[in-house]
A = this chain, B = another copy of it.
Amino acid sequence: MSISSRFSVAIHILCLLAINKEKATNTSEYLAGSVNTNPVVIRKVMSMLKGAGLVHVRAGVAGAELAKPLAEITLLDVYKAVNVVAENDLFSSHEHPNPECIVGRNIQQSLTKQFSAAQKAMEHSLEIVTLAEVVQDILESDNV
């Protein structure tokens, strides 16, 4: 299993919006060309980013733009926007363990605790990085 590439696509899009300032050229087709996918895939992701208030897009008018400064968008914001992992659902548990067994009737509570902690640790790691850092990374790599 793997977390959907919708997340990486979303990051890609947002970075590109930040770098390419000419709003009107940021069409779903242009973005699809950079990501190397279908324009509809881009529009679906864009729709989620719009719903989360990260971008401004208008039906019928070419181009999208960031709704916030780069430094105010964390990777966690993007991750939540594109809904790749549901709340407390990074790990799945077997359902309906046998309540007549001591392990069966108590393990879920314990698993939930540990799984939730692990998921939070991962999400916190995403929370401390902003898109500003990612863009800077990209610019620096390109200058080498």
A residues with a Cβ closer than 8 A to B are 1-5, 7-9, 11-12, 15-16, 19, 33-37, 75, 84-86, 89-98, 101-107, 109-111, 113-115, 117-126, 129, 134, 137-139, 141-142
Question: Could you list 11 A-B pairs, sorted by A, with CB under 8 Å?
Answer: A1-B3, A8-B91, A8-B115, A34-B97, A35-B98, A36-B104, A111-B134, A114-B129, A120-B125, A121-B122, A121-B124
- Whether A2 and B2, one on each chain, are in contact in the complex, defined by CB atoms closer than 8 angstroms, is no
Cα distance A85–B122 when bound, in Å? 14
User: Which secondary structure dominates where chain A touches chain B?
Assistant: helix
- Whether A1 and B102, one on each chain, are in contact in the complex, defined by CB atoms closer than 8 angstroms, is no
- Whether B4 and A36, one on each chain, are in contact in the complex, defined by CB atoms closer than 8 angstroms, is no
- Whether A104 and B35, one on each chain, are in contact in the complex, defined by CB atoms closer than 8 angstroms, is yes
Cα distance A19–B118 when bound, in Å? 25
Instruction: For the A-B complex with A1-B2, A19-B103 known, give 6 more contacts whose Cβ atoms are closer than 8 Å.
Output: A1-B4, A2-B89, A9-B94, A75-B118, A102-B139, A110-B138
- Whether B34 and A141, one on each chain, are in contact in the complex, defined by CB atoms closer than 8 angstroms, is no
Cα distance A125–B111 when bound, in Å? 13
- Whether A138 and B19, one on each chain, are in contact in the complex, defined by CB atoms closer than 8 angstroms, is no
- Whether A94 and B8, one on each chain, are in contact in the complex, defined by CB atoms closer than 8 angstroms, is yes
Given contacts A106-B137, A110-B134, A126-B114, are A98 and B33 in contact (CB under 8 A)? yes
